[in-house]
Structure 1
Amino acid sequence: MIALLEDPERGGSPSVEAAILAVVFGLLIAFAIAGGRLVAAEAAADHAARAAARAASLQRDPAAATAFARTTADASLAEQGLRCAQLDVDLDTSQFSAPPGTPASVTASVRCAVDWAELGLPASGGPVIESVAASPLDRWRERT
């Protein structure tokens, strides 16, 4: 068996082959970890969008809803350990003007630009994660 590994016709040293395989396996593990962190980041963005929509639906006017949704999304992402290079929270508050008794909702869209370094890869740039959630407004509550 040892003679096979040291066969000059094979053209390689077992230690070099082992080093190359170790690097390849290391990269595969790093990409698997980064993939798992990306899934966790997407879940954090989903949670932040739901929290922002819910927080906005509890407010009485669109301006307060927008401010509170942004604060809530930022706090939710921080609580989950996700730092965004750029965070955009857009809120659709057009249904705040619906008359009482009419079903209405508020929709929050959270976009988070995540840096690859945040996900465990030594690279710049990264994916933009987007999540949208809606929360109903109280049907019989007075609206502005």
Structure 2
Amino acid sequence: MVRDEDGSLSLELVLVTPALILLLLFVVFAGRLGSASADVAQATAQAARAASLQGQPGAAAAAADAAVADNLNASGVDCAALDVAVDTSAFAPGGTVTVRVRCSVALADIAGALPGTRALTAESVQVIDTYRGEGG
């Protein structure tokens, strides 16, 4: 007796297609989340560099804040909550400046209908030029 297999491929396709779509959506979500994380890391590195070029700790903190905001805005990352911490405790020629950024992004901005937020964090340390003058 020969079994009739007409339509079995269609049935398999109907059963497998939703799983393939979910897998594709997960890959897109992971890629967009990775891209946003890289953008935060890049903004943090630029902020540390901008801070290290300033002459005074107060100006360094202001420059870092501005650099983070400008870079995240340019890359299209919309932070629901943004925290920029600038450590200028070793702010002197030959010292360092450290910038830590925490950006909470809405998952709906990244993946459409997902609720909640995801915190993206980055830290960057920049060495201050040893041979520059004290005033910058």
Give the TM-score taking structure 1 as reference length.
0.81
Give the alignment partner of residue 83 of structure 1, picking from 78, 92, 108: 78
Shift of 1:143: 5.2
Q: Deviations over 1:100-122 (max 9, x none)?
A: 5xx20101011111111122241
- Look at both structures and tell me which one has the larger radius of gyration over its CA atoms: 1
Q: Give the distance between the partners of 1:47 and 1:116, measured in 2 at CA.
A: 20
Q: Which amino acid aligns with 1:129?
A: L
Q: Give the distance between the partners of 2:40 and 2:68, measured in 1 at CA.
A: 8
Shift of 1:19: 3.4
CA 16–115 in structure 1, closer or farther in 2 if over 3 Å, else same: farther
Q: Give the distance between the partners of 2:116 and 2:61, measured in 1 at CA.
A: 28
Which runs of no fewer than 5 residues in structure 1 stay unpaired? 7-12
Q: Give the distance between the partners of 1:94 and 1:143, measured in 2 at CA.
A: 16
Shift of 1:16: 6.0
Give the alignment partner of residue 19 of structure 2, picking from 3, 19, 24: 24
Shift of 1:14: 6.6
Q: Give the distance between the partners of 1:47 and 1:33, measured in 2 at CA.
A: 21
Q: Give the distance between the partners of 1:14 and 1:117, measured in 2 at CA.
A: 36
User: Which residue number in structure 1 is paired with residue 40 of structure 2?
Assistant: 45
**What is the aligned residue count?**
134
User: Which residue number in structure 2 is paired with residue 10 of structure 1?
Assistant: none
Give the structure with the higher percent strand. 2
CA 73–124 in structure 1, closer or farther in 2 if over 3 Å, else same: same
Give the TM-score taking structure 2 as reference length.
0.85
Identical columns (%): 36
User: Which residue number in structure 2 is paired with residue 142 of structure 1?
Assistant: 134
